[in-house]
Copies of this chain bind each other. A is one copy, B any other.
Amino acid sequence: MLDNRAVLSPLIRKLESRNILDDEDRAAIEALPFTLRTYQPAAYLVREGQAPLNRCSLVLSGYAFRQKLTVEGSRQIVSLHMAGDMLDLQHLFLNRADHNVQALTVLETADVDRSALQALSTDRPAVGRAMWIDALIDASIFREWVVNVGQRDAKTRVAHLLCEFAARSDAAGIGEKGVYELPMTQEQLGDATGLTSVHVNRTLKALAAVGLIKRTKRHLSFESWEGISRAAGFSSLYLHLDQALQPAT
């Protein structure tokens, strides 16, 4: 038997960043049965149209993304996910998947039983509320992405995506602050921003030329957070990072 406490600690960490939990809440989470899985890059975790699987995946390491295809065949990435994120909350109570979820890198997940998680959401109200909040924050991020692809020009748009990636990495405690490993090809960046890979390339070069970012291979760093976030029109309000710190009402 695996050590539940160690494996599911990212889940507790995530939920505690959403709502205050007590010892019993934590114990109930640690008691969840789960299995470990590894996915290769581009592997599908969820396919649009299918009935939801019997499991809910928690990302332990690596990256994943949500994606939809248009009838013409073009692809829009609608969100990115990293360690600590729950991938199936968006389908927890729905009878059919409305989008695809794919591994971006090699991805390790802990798969919790879906009905156990559904039960937990009602049996432990504080945990249920934390799950609600997590799903609502995902929805907030979707709204910001609508703004990003709908209103911002290429430079601002790419910069905004990088800022979100950095802010969420920092919040999740991934890597060291200020340096980020961007696990996406320029084509994938294009699919996430509604640009072509060619234009993403030119845009990244332009951002580097004015000193806003530094690139070496897939490693990315910012000259100054102040600079890049101003260029991106980025405000982290929509990530609700301080949610659990404020008195719940």
A139 within 8 A of partner (CB):
yes
State whether A136 touches B135 (Cβ < 8 A).
yes
User: Which A114-149 residues sit within 8 Å CB-CB of chain B?
Assistant: 114-115, 121-122, 125, 128-129, 132-133, 135-140, 142-147, 149
Give the segment of A23-31, A65-73, A164-172, A219-227 that binds chain B. A65-73
Given contact pairs A70-B151, A136-B90, A149-B149, A143 touches B95 in the complex (Cβ within 8 A) = no
**A99–B240 Cα gap in the complex (Å)?**
12
**A165–B76 Cα gap in the complex (Å)?**
22
A198 within 8 A of partner (CB):
no
A216 within 8 A of partner (CB):
no
Given contact pairs A76-B147, A76-B151, A78-B146, A95 touches B246 in the complex (Cβ within 8 A) = yes
Number of interface residues of A (CB under 8 A): 61
State whether B66 touches A143 (Cβ < 8 A).
yes
A177 within 8 A of partner (CB):
no
State whether B240 touches A147 (Cβ < 8 A).
no
| Among A74, A76, A135, A146, residue most surrounded by chain B Cβ atoms (within 10 Å) | A146
State whether A94 touches B133 (Cβ < 8 A).
yes
**A128–B68 Cα gap in the complex (Å)?**
28
A39 within 8 A of partner (CB):
no
State whether B133 touches A135 (Cβ < 8 A).
no
A117 to chain B, nearest CB (A): 12
**A147–B142 Cα gap in the complex (Å)?**
11
State whether A143 touches B142 (Cβ < 8 A).
yes
Mark contacts of A207-249 with chain B using CB atoms, 8 A cut-off: 1 yes-contact digit, 0 otherwise: 0000000000000000000000000010001101011001111
State whether A240 touches B143 (Cβ < 8 A).
no
**A121–B126 Cα gap in the complex (Å)?**
12
A80 to chain B, nearest CB (A): 12
Can you report 12 A-B residue pairs in the complex whose CB atoms are below 8 A from each other? Answer: A49-B237, A70-B152, A70-B233, A71-B233, A78-B143, A78-B146, A92-B132, A94-B136, A96-B240, A98-B144, A145-B146, A150-B194
